[in-house]
């Protein structure tokens, strides 16, 4: 009786601690996830550096490189964002001024006047809210860098630690799950990077072919397509839509239709639902439908990180189903 009470007490205490631990970690799940993910991507380079440096020194070098690249991208996007926001504001202001100059009824004229008088305070409030969020973003950045660094340093020991937590007779099964996870994640990252590079290159070519700005503009569009393709919902379609609108406003209807068809078929969204699942399915030895459902459902359920988590989770579920079927068959044969 006393043993049962102790078991119940320890179970309740453990559940409470696990719940509080989850509440503590939950706000930082996203930077932790992407820190570990980028460490996974950089791990082959880390292993090469390990031939000349210690694990801590190699991880520190890669973290410094990550900080340098992040700083360059931050400055680039800050300057680009300021330019785009300023242009957007001027365009909105011009449109509202044009609407106010038209001869509408008194009610509509009053409505447009109110919108025009409120647009500046609304934009100011948005900028202020973003400014107050900067400390939060900095905290997430610090967590991301720590996760990246320590995932590189202790990556080898993590696998050993996981195996040490399971009974010895279950170790082969856990190893199979870890291998399947590694294989699926490797296929996802490889397909993600290769496809996004191809999409950026094709967008650059498309901007040049259809005359959307000069070569510099085309290169910037290709680079932004590569970056935006890592973010679900944004993807590369934003750039060909912007190009189509630009050509249409210049009076080139055929050019606008051309780049729209070109972008939809070769950049986004068609390749995201055809080429990407095919690449992942081939490398991970999975069914294309399973990969497609995992990507779509994972993104819906977990946001950006679900693009990778979804297929990995379904891949592990497949391993579990196979193991369950095997054990059920073994019990049937033994009986």
Q: Would the pLDDT of 223 be above 60?
A: yes
Residue 21 confidence (pLDDT):
84
Residue 85 confidence (pLDDT):
58
Q: What is the pLDDT of residues 127-186, one digit of tens each?
A: 555 555 556 777 888 888 899 999 999 887 877 777 777 777 777 888 888 888 888 888
Q: What is the mean pLDDT of residues 303-312?
A: 81
Pick the more confident residue, 32 or 116. Answer: 32
Question: Torsion angle of alpha carbons 12, 17, 18, 20, nearest 10°?
Answer: 120
Residue 64 confidence (pLDDT):
93
Cis link prior to 319 (omega < 30° from 0)?
A: no
Pick the more confident residue, 177 or 233. Answer: 177
| Confidence (pTM) | 0.67
Residue 104 confidence (pLDDT):
57
Residue 169 gets which letter from DSSP? G
Q: Would the pLDDT of 121 be above 90?
A: no
Residue 238 confidence (pLDDT):
81
For the beta carbon of residue 144, count every other beta carbon within 10 angstroms. 21
CA distance 243 to 147: 39
pLDDT-derived band at 203 (thresholds 50, 70, 90) equals very high
Structure tokens belonging to residue 244: 């189509």
Q: What is the pLDDT of residues 42-92, one digit of tens each?
A: 888 998 998 888 888 999 999 999 888 878 877 776 676 666 556 555 655
Residue 263 confidence (pLDDT):
92
Q: What is the pLDDT of residues 212-221, one digit of tens each?
A: 878 888 888 8
CA distance 233 to 304: 9
Lowest average pLDDT, out of 124-128, 283-287, 308-312, 318-322, goes to: 124-128
Residue 133 confidence (pLDDT):
56
pLDDT-derived band at 201 (thresholds 50, 70, 90) equals very high
Q: What is the mean pLDDT of residues 110-123?
A: 57
Average pLDDT along the chain: 79
Q: What is the mean pLDDT of residues 261-279?
A: 88
pLDDT-derived band at 291 (thresholds 50, 70, 90) equals confident
Residue 94 confidence (pLDDT):
60
User: How much of the chain, in percent, has pLDDT values that exceed 70?
Assistant: 78
Q: How far is CA 52 from CA 38, 40, 45, in A?
A: 22, 20, 12
For the beta carbon of residue 12, count every other beta carbon within 10 angstroms. 10
pLDDT-derived band at 118 (thresholds 50, 70, 90) equals low
CA distance 120 to 327: 66
């Amino acid at each position: 009786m006393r043993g049962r009470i102790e078991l119940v007490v320890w179970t309740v205490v453990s559940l409470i601690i696990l719940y509080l631990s989850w509440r503590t970690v939950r706000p930082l799940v996203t930077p932790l996830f992407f820190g570990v993910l980028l460490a996974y991507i950089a791990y082959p380079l880390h292993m090469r550096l390990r031939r000349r440096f210690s694990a801590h020194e190699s991880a520190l070098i890669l973290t410094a490189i990550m900080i340098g690249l992040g700083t360059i991208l931050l400055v680039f996007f800050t300057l680009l964002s300021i330019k785009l926001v300023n242009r957007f504001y001027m365009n909105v202001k011009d449109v509202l001024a044009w609407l106010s100059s038209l001869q509408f009824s008194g009610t509509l004229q009053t409505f447009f006047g109110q919108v025009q008088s409120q647009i500046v305070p609304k934009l100011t409030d948005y900028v202020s809210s973003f400014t107050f969020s900067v400390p939060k973003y900095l905290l997430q950045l610090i967590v991301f860098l720590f996760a990246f660094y320590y995932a590189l340093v202790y990556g080898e020991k993590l696998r050993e630690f996981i195996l040490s937590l399971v009974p010895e007779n279950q170790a082969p099964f856990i190893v199979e799950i870890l291998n399947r996870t590694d294989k699926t994640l490797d296929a996802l990252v490889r397909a993600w990077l290769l496809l996004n590079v191809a999409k950026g290159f094709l967008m650059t070519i498309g901007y040049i072919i259809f005359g959307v700005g000069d070569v510099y503009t085309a290169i910037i569009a290709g680079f932004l397509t590569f970056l935006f393709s890592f973010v679900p919902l944004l993807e590369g379609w934003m750039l060909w839509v912007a190009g189509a609108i630009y050509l249409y406003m210049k009076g080139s209807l055929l050019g606008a239709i051309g780049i729209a068809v070109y972008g939809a078929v070769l950049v986004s969204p068609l390749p995201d639902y055809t080429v990407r699942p095919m690449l992942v399915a081939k490398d991970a030895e999975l069914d294309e439908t399973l990969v497609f459902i995992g990507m779509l459902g994972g993104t819906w359920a977990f946001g950006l990180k679900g693009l990778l988590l979804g297929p990995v989770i379904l891949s592990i579920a497949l391993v579990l189903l196979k193991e369950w079927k095997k054990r059920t068959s073994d019990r049937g044969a033994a009986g």
